[in-house]
């Protein structure tokens, strides 16, 4: 399945990039610039061409009641054929949604940051 040319960045994804920039601080400025370069020069083209190369996010087993409830809610929100996937690159995890021929970048986190918060995306 080629999505090619149908990439969208959610406001949450942009906010996550701002958060990462603050998280790495001044001493991590060059690392943040490398992330942006890698994101737009490598990751976007790769996921555009091979959207299924990321690991399925929905196969994770819920390890708490809260996580189980959130996963159940997520399943009710997703449309038939939607696929949420995660792609790990360097120290970052990218969460994205494949919906038809479109690929939505939902979230990005440094591995030392806390969890994804997708509530704003689904409202």
The CATH number of the domain where 51 resides is what?
3.30.2310.20
Place of tokens 């399943």: 75
* Max Cα–Cα distance, the chain, nearest Å: 44
- Do you know the residue count of the chain? 123
Instruction: Name the residue range of residue 73's domain.
Output: 7-110
Handedness of CA 9, 6, 94, 36 (dihedral sign): negative
Residue 2, in any domain of the structure:
no
Q: Tell me how far apart the alpha carbons of residues 48 and 45 are, in angstroms, rounded to a whole number.
A: 5
pTM score: 0.82
Our count of domains for the chain comes to 1
Q: What is the pLDDT along the chain (123 residues), one digit of tens a residue?
A: 444 558 999 999 999 999 999 888 888 899 899 999 999 999 999 999 999 999 999 888 888 998 888 888 888 889 999 999 999 988 899 999 999 999 999 999 987 775 555 666 665
């Amino acid at each position: 399945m080629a999505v090619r040319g149908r990439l969208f960045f959610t406001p949450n994804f942009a906010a996550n990039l701002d958060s990462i920039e603050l998280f790495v601080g001044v001493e991590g400025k060059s690392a943040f610039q490398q992330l942006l370069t890698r994101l737009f020069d490598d990751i976007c083209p790769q996921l555009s061409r091979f959207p299924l190369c990321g690991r399925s996010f929905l196969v994770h087993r819920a390890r708490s009641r809260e996580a189980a409830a959130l996963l159940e809610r997520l399943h009710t929100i997703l449309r038939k054929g939607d696929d949420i996937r995660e792609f790990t690159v360097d120290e970052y995890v990218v969460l994205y949604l494949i919906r038809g021929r479109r690929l939505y970048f939902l979230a990005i986190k440094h591995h030392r940051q806390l969890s994804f918060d997708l509530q704003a995306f689904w409202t």
